[in-house]
Structure formats: structure tokens, C-alpha cells
A and B are shown apart, each in its own frame.
Chain A
Amino acid sequence: MSLTLSSRGMALFLACLLAVPLAAQQSLPPAPYAYRQLEDPAKEAAAQALMETLRCLTCQSQSIADSDAAMAGDMRHQVRTRIAAGEEPEAIRAWLVERYGDYVSYAPVVSETTWPLFAIPLLLLAGAGAILWRRLRRAQ
């Protein structure tokens, strides 16, 4: 984008003006591994795969791998440091679920409250099979 000199000066002034309250809001710097990758590519890949399936609790429908929110950054830091320390991804998920509830995980597991999520697709499968069987057999 091209800007004239005067508007650039204006922008600088406004940017300074805005920077003050923003800096005051974010009094804590983001945790180190919020925006830093792990050295080991295999561990980073494992962390990334896990982060993509964890919900950012302060956003609307974004994973912690997709968010600028401070809390998502903290959770990324947690995930990366724990993966680096050799923890299994599913153990980290379990730890987070214990802390924040099932809501934090995008990967529902079969439980008292979630069984219909798994039973209904099976019913759909059976239903689809039944419809096709009836429809196509009769058609011949």
C-alpha cells in the first residue's frame, strides 16, 4: 500500500496513541512457546496435531492452533512444553479435560453424555444400507 508522507506521519501518531492502552492491557508478555516452535520437528508435529484438536476457550469456534487470544497462547505454551518433556499427547489432553472439562477437546470420546454422537452415525449407516437395499433390490 502506498501512503503519502503526511498520512504516514498521522498514522505514526495514531499508532503511538493506540499503543499505550493496548500495552497496558497486555501487561504480561506471551508465554515463550505461544509463538515459538519446538526444535524437534517430530515433537512440533505432534504438538501441532494436538493443538488443532483443542478448543480456544475464549474464542468462538477456533482451535488453540488458530487463535491470537492470550489464553490460546498460554495453552500452546503448555502443550509444547509438555510434549517437549516427553508427555504423550493423549495424557496432555486428559490433563486439560480434567482442568477445563470435555468442552476443551474437539475430539469427543464415548461417554455417558456423548454416546449418541457415535450411536446415531451407526444408525445412519444401517438406515442408508436399508434404504439402498430396499430401493435398489425392488428396482430390479
Chain B
Amino acid sequence: MIAELGLAALWLAAALAALQLYAGAMAQRPGGEGAAALVRPAAVIQGIVCAFAFLMLLWLFAITDLSVKLVAANSHSAKPMIFKLAGAWGNHEGSMLLWVAVMALSGALIALVERRLPEKTMLATLAAQAFVGLGFYAFLIVSSNPFERLPQPAIEGLGLNPLLQDIGLAFHPPTLYFGYVGLSVAFSFAVGALVTRQVTPEFARVMRPWVLGAWVFLTLGITAGSYWAYYELGWGGWWFWDPVENASLMPWLAATALLHSASVLAARDALRAWTIMLGVIAFSMSMVGTFLVRSGILTSVHAFAVDPERGSFILALLTLYIGGALALFALRAGTVSEGQRFSVTSREGALVFNNVMLSAILGIVLLGTLYPLLTEAFDVRVSVGPPYFNPVGAIFAVPMLLVMAVGPLLRWRRDSIERIRRPLILIGAIMLAALAAVLALGEISVLPLLGLAIAVGLAVASFLPLRGRRLTRVPLAVWGMVLAHFGLAVALFGMASESAFSEERLAAVAIGETAQVGPWEVALSEVLPAAGPNWTAIEGHLLASYAGGDPIELDPQSRSFWAPPQETTESALATRWNGQLYAVVGSEAGAGRWQLRLWWKPFVTFIWYGGMLVALGGALALIGRVIDDLRRRAVLARIAERRGEEAV
């Protein structure tokens, strides 16, 4: 009954989306006032109904209803409750339903509260939102029905992939989806603005919180995903340029560019066409990401070719949305003028430069991700990995980071290098000093060296926009920018340091023996069996001491899950302010010896602290902008009220 309720709600939501699209389109014509009145209510009810469908799925997973195919395939009665619930979105169908539910709720929210734009633009935006939603509803109902029943209820579920039974990962995919949904809302605003030719600073202000929110979620999602790969995969790697990772990085790069471009449009009424274009690209990248992850094309192009239904569906949606948006853009580009002019040495100039660099990096990542899939279709298999992405990406990333250090110091519209000569010299001197200091430490390769020097300079530079200002009067959004830029410097420092200074020790150690890695001495005191609700493990007990200090106990495990059967390593980490000791216990090496894998990774934690700072900066900016908007709204309301009184 619950499953049928869920499916019925899904159909109803789809019908409401169709109504919303039709009414929104009709409202664009003269005499469409009747239809116009339907759009906002349709969006609100659609949001509620679709959220209800997702709640039904959660319920099915909570009670482990094994007559439902999705539950039987992805859950197990012996799982902890939190992973039962996480199982609802830890699979293709459920994650798609979560996506569309969040999207419908976002549509409901803008339908309820957003009144700043001309009503026609708003209705066109909601129609675009319904159009995107409709595609996803069709996808769910036709080829990915999460509520499908089994002819015979299963006796027991197949379980969730043990690698995914991890609290961090349970919340990682939804985080990315919230980001994707935010970009879909930005896309709808862009389409709405194009349809009604209202590419204005007000449009950028309305769109900006959604882009900021999406960007914060994407940043958090990527940071969490990277940390998960780091501690869960057991080899200390934190970024693999894996297509799935790239699928989350590409929307982030596009969203970063869009965010900055929208800020220019909001503040200076420049970069109109550019902002629209980036809005379309950012959403395209989240669709490309979804396609890569959800179509099965990554396992093998040929596996995709054998069962192409889902992949083709997403590809068709992608073509429809992006093709449609680009065609609209082409039709309207002539009427969207560039907006206000500015000189090369201005805040806008620096932002344009960095937007071009970000787009180029995006192009490189897209190329390196898709090219192997393309050649595989012709039966030629090539691999594109770190030796390609790192140097080729750096060609664009290094100038971008340098301009990023300087850009916020420049004034809008027109400025001169002469005016900011002193901070420029300061930043340059810090970078050169850092370069010299790192070179004195020993021989390291070019990219980590540049990374460390730029990171130190950028860290200082990111606070310079605050100089000479009363800190209590600095707007939240500026604090957000400062923190986000500083966070990027921190993360860059962590990445470069990890790459330059990591030390590795692989050793077969008997009980009571010690192994050394960097400044650490690690003793193996015992190896014991351990068990959890759905796994058994061997657990090594290690005593690690840093530079002869007090020993810390570490208990890495090598786990065996039985539903489904799979081995995982649970690394143990000793975190200090200046880095992490990473310990893994492997299999028995014979003669009472156990395989230990140890790494000392100086400042590696800065990667994720930096990511969190970036997200925090984004969140501060978002809060600052929303508060400003609310204030402005209150002032406008008061003015309108006073006018009303005067008129009387």
C-alpha cells in the first residue's frame, strides 16, 4: 500500500509539473492572466506531493519492505537504522527521486517567497523549472521506478555495498544533489530571464543565493567525498581524477565561475550574456555528471551499449535542456547587450580573466574525462590520469591563483596597478620568500613547489581587502569572500604539502616490533579479532609515538562484510596540527608477521580544513546576501506604505 501511495504521488507530481509548464507558457501570451494564477499554486502543491513520495520511499526502507524490488536489492534487515534510511538514496532510483523531490521543494519555495522579479519572468522561470522536473519524472516513472514490487517478496535483502556503509558517505551523495538542484534553479532563472529579456542586476540578485547555496553544497560534497576516499580506500590517496570525482568537480568549477559572474552583474550591471551562458553551462555540467555516474558508462562503454535505456534517457534530457537553452540563447543573444563597460585593471577585469581560466580548466577536466570514453567506443582504450590533469590544469590554474590574490584589491570599473603597488610588492615578496624556503628544504618537483609558494602568498593576500576598514562594519558577504579565498589557499597548501613531503613505510611486523615512518615510531602490540553488526575484522593495536613523545593507541581494522561479501580496510589516523599519521593493517605475512602500511602526511588535513573554510565563506556570503535582501525588502515595503499614506 505504501509503495502504491508513493507511485501515485509521483504521477500526481508529474501531472502538476505538466500543468505548471502549460500555465507558465500560456501566461507569457497576452490574455494569459487566468493561466498565470495557476502557476505558483501548482509549484507549491507539486513540491509537497513529490516530497510525500520520497517520504514513502524512506518509510519502505525503514520497515525493510522486501516485497519492493528496490528495498530487496539494496537493503538488509540486519543493517543499522541509519544505513537503512541512507539506503533509500544509496542507489540509482532512490537518488533520482531524492533529486527530483528537492528540486520540487525548491520550486515550491521560490513560488512562495520570490516576488522581486517581474511576474512574467517569474512565471517563465517556474515553467522552465517544471520543464526540467517533467523530464526527471518521466525518467523515474518510465525507466527507474523506485516503487516497483517483486512478484514474490524476497526472503532477505541483498544489502548495501559495505564501502558505502559509512556515515560520511551516507550524506555525501545528497549533498552533491542539493548542489545540482541549486544549479537547476539558477538555470531556470536564466531561462526565465532570457524568455522575457530581463537580464538585469535584479535577476542576478535573485539567482545568486541559489548559486551560492549550490556552491556551498558542492564544496562540502567534494570535500567530504575526498576525505572519504582518503580514509576508506586505505592507501592515503585523496584525489584520483576518477571520472566520478570529475563529475562533481566540473559543476563546482562552473558554479564558481557563475557565482563570480553573477556578482559582477548584480553589483555593476556588466557581463549579462556571460552570466546567462555560465548558468546554462553550470546546469549542463551537473547533467553531464549525473549522466556519467548514473548511466553505467564508466564501468564500460560496452556495458552501457548493452543496456542503454537509462543512459540514453539522461542523454536525451541533457540534449533537450541544453540544446533548448542554447537555441534560446542564440535567438535572444542579440537583444542581451554586454552591459556596463570597464577597464582591464579593474575588479571586473580580474573576474573576467579568472572566469576564462576557470572555464578553460573545466574544458580540460571535461576533455580528460570524456576522451577515454570516446576512444573506448572505437575499441581503443587509453587512460588519462594525474600525469595529464595536473600539469595541463596548472597551465590555467597558476595564472588564475595569481590573479585571485590581486583581484579583490582592485576597485570596480577603473583602477591602476600603481594604486595597489605596495600590497602587490608584499604579496610577491611573500611568494618568493616561500619559494626560497621550500627550495632550501630539499629537492621537490615543480608543481608542489609552486603550490606551496602561491598558497602562502594567497593566504596573506586574501586578508588584504580588509586593511584600512573598520572590521565591525565589513559586510558579511565580504567576510565570506575573504574566508573562501583563504580556505582555498589553505587547501592548496595541504595538497602541495601532501604531494611534496609524504613519507611511506610498508613493513611486515611481528607482535612487539616497531616500524618507523617520518618522525613517528609505531609498535604493533597485538592483533585481535573484532566484530560489528554485519562484519568481522582483524584489528591491529598500534602504539604510535611522535618524535619520542607519549604513545597514542591506533586500531586499524581489516573488515570482512558478509552481506554482500566484501573486504574493506578501516584505516586509523593520528591527527596532529602539522599532519596525520595514517595506519593500515593488512593480511598476515607469514611467520607471525602482519603487513603494516604507514604514512606520515605533513599538513594533509589542511586540504579538508580548507574545503570547509571555503564552504563556510560561501555560507557567510549567502547569509549576508539574504539578510541584505530582507532588509531591502522591508525598506521598500515601508516606502510603499508611506507613499500610500501620502496619496490619502
Which of A's residues lie within 8 Å of B, judged by CB? 1, 3, 7-8, 10-12, 14-15, 18, 22, 29-30, 35-37, 48, 52-53, 55, 60-63, 65-68, 101-108, 113-114, 116-117, 120-121, 124-125, 127-128, 131-132, 135-137, 139-140
Contact = CB atoms under 8 A, between A and B. Distances in A.
A67 B237 CA distance: 10
Given A35-B595, A103-B382, A128-B360, 19 more contacts: A1-B530, A8-B530, A12-B529, A18-B562, A37-B504, A62-B242, A63-B385, A65-B235, A65-B237, A68-B567, A68-B569, A102-B383, A103-B383, A108-B388, A113-B380, A121-B363, A124-B363, A132-B353, A136-B353
A30 B363 CA distance: 41
Interface in B232-251: 233-235, 237, 240-244
B82 interface: no
A104 B381 CA distance: 9
Nearest to B382: A102
Contact residues on B (Cβ < 8 Å of other chain), bracket: 35 or more
Please list the 7 inter-chain residue pairs (A to B) with the smallest Cβ-Cβ separation, ordered nearest first.
A106-B385, A11-B531, A107-B387, A61-B242, A103-B381, A66-B235, A15-B529
Contacts of A135: 352
Contacts of B528: 8
A1 B555 contact: yes
Contact of B560 (A8, A10, A18, A36): A18
B375 to A, nearest CB: 6
Contacts of B235: 62, 65-67
A107 B384 CA distance: 6
B195 to A, nearest CB: 26
Interface stretch (B202-210, B340-348, B454-462): B340-348
B371 interface: yes
Contacts of B587: 30
Nearest to A53: B387
Interface of B: 233-235, 237, 240-244, 298-299, 341-344, 348-349, 352-353, 356-357, 359-360, 363-364, 367-368, 371, 375, 380-388, 392, 395-396, 504-508, 528-531, 536-539, 555, 560, 562, 567, 569, 586-587, 589-590, 595, 597
Nearest to B349: A136
A97 B528 CA distance: 42
Contacts of B299: 60
19 contacts: A1-B539, A7-B531, A8-B530, A11-B536, A12-B529, A63-B386, A68-B234, A68-B586, A107-B388, A117-B371, A121-B395, A124-B363, A125-B360, A128-B396, A136-B349, A139-B341, A139-B343, A139-B349, A140-B344
B364 A139 contact: no
A32 to B, nearest CB: 10
Contacts, number: 153
A123 to B, nearest CB: 9
Contact of A136 (B344, B367, B396, B504): B344
Most buried by B among A65, A68, A105: A68
Given A107-B387, A139-B343, A120 B367 contact: yes
B242 A15 contact: no
B343 A48 contact: no
Contacts of B562: 18
A124 B531 CA distance: 54
A105 B235 CA distance: 19
B383 A124 contact: no
